[in-house]
Structure 1
Amino acid sequence: MSEATHAPAAVLFYEPGARWRTVTYGPALCAMILAIEVVRGGAVHWFGLVFCAVLLGGFVWLQVVAGKRHISVELTEEALREGAEVTSLRDIREVLPEDDEESWDYEDWQSARALGELSGVPRRRKGIGLKLKDGKLVQAWARDHVMLRAALTAALERRDGTGAEDEKEAS
């Protein structure tokens, strides 16, 4: 038997895309309404409230599954995963500077293809310009784009060995 097993790579940055707890919000609200109706007395709308709880829970469950699949972000020492698309860090040449909020001009990377299988940067996320080794520009994205940019820059510096040289020069 072979002893060559790969240990999972350390996660440097992670955003889940959606959280399972949101599935419980609709059914919890229906349960509270049901409890109020029982305590208050009179007609209790069992069927309607149970039906609404199942319907709300089902729709939100679909949204959470889609969110976890399509808008989650994970950065390891080897790869950046944006939704279902995985990009090797070896394919990334550099992280481009942030866009100037006060400038009237767009950076070239702002109109580049967003990583992942979505047509653009998802809502409530901000793009980060990346230049690939083949010269193409793409956008990585995250809700906490500042942390992703810092983690991605540090991972690329470690890969290229520039972080160690900077530390030697500083001391």
Structure 2
Amino acid sequence: MDQPTLYAEPGASWWPLLWGPVFALLGFGVEALTGVVRPLLWLVVAVALFLPTALWVQGRRKVYGVRLTPVALHQGREEVPVRDIAAVAGVEPRSGAKVLGGGWALPRGTEPVPVKLADGTVVMGWARDADALRAAVTRLLDRP
């Protein structure tokens, strides 16, 4: 069953997919100015640059995406059930705390969101807008 999304960060945008086609279009334009035009070559260049970029963007969206639903907090490839979260407000980060999502450290460009679990352990969540994620989780935990 699909749950409504209460907070989301995609991990990466799709705009880098334009790099290959724009580069190929510029190359085609330069060739058109010089007289010799090979449109098939530039089409192959556009596709050759587009495909690995699409894989890169899709991978970043899976590994660095953040999503909060009424049932779980998804941090990259890891999922923490909301019933296992005790608090996020006022939780102090602990040295050596496990980073959610499977990485060794917080993803670059993100801020820490310490999460206290029901068993008392503290794990390190993360988000680009840590305050917004913390507020969304707190609202969810405060529901009756």
TM-score band w.r.t. shorter chain: 0.7 to 0.9
Q: Which stretches of structure 1, 4 residues or longer, exceed 4 Å deviation after superposition? A: 45-48
The letter for the 2-side match of 1:58 is L
Match of 1:152 in 2: 137
Report SS of the residue matched to 1:114: coil
Match of 1:65 in 2: 58
1:96 CA drift (Å): 4.3
The answer to whether residue 80 in structure 2 is matched with residue 87 in structure 1 is: yes
1:82 CA drift (Å): 0.8
Q: TM-score, normalised by structure 2?
A: 0.86
Whole-Å separation in 2 of the counterparts to 1:97 and 1:49: 55
Match of 1:166 in 2: none
* Kept after mapping to 2: 8 A contact 1:70/1:118: no
1:46 CA drift (Å): 4.9
Match of 1:116 in 2: 101
Whole-Å separation in 2 of the counterparts to 1:35 and 1:47: 13
* Kept after mapping to 1: 8 A contact 2:28/2:39: yes
The answer to whether residue 123 in structure 2 is matched with residue 138 in structure 1 is: yes
Match of 2:15 in 1: 21
Match of 1:33 in 2: 27
Q: What's the Cα RMSD here?
A: 2.2
Whole-Å separation in 2 of the counterparts to 1:12 and 1:36: 48
Per mean C-alpha deviation after superposition, the further-off stretch among 82-91 and 54-63 is: 54-63
The letter for the 1-side match of 2:85 is I
1:51 CA drift (Å): 4.4
* Kept after mapping to 1: 8 A contact 2:91/2:115: no
Q: TM-score, normalised by structure 1?
A: 0.73
Match of 1:128 in 2: 113
Whole-Å separation in 2 of the counterparts to 1:129 and 1:71: 17
Higher relative contact order, chain-length normalized (CA < 8 Å, sep 6+) = 2
The letter for the 1-side match of 2:108 is R
1:117 CA drift (Å): 2.0
Whole-Å separation in 1 of the counterparts to 2:108 and 2:38: 37
1:35 CA drift (Å): 2.2
Match of 2:71 in 1: 78
Unaligned runs of 5+ in 2: none
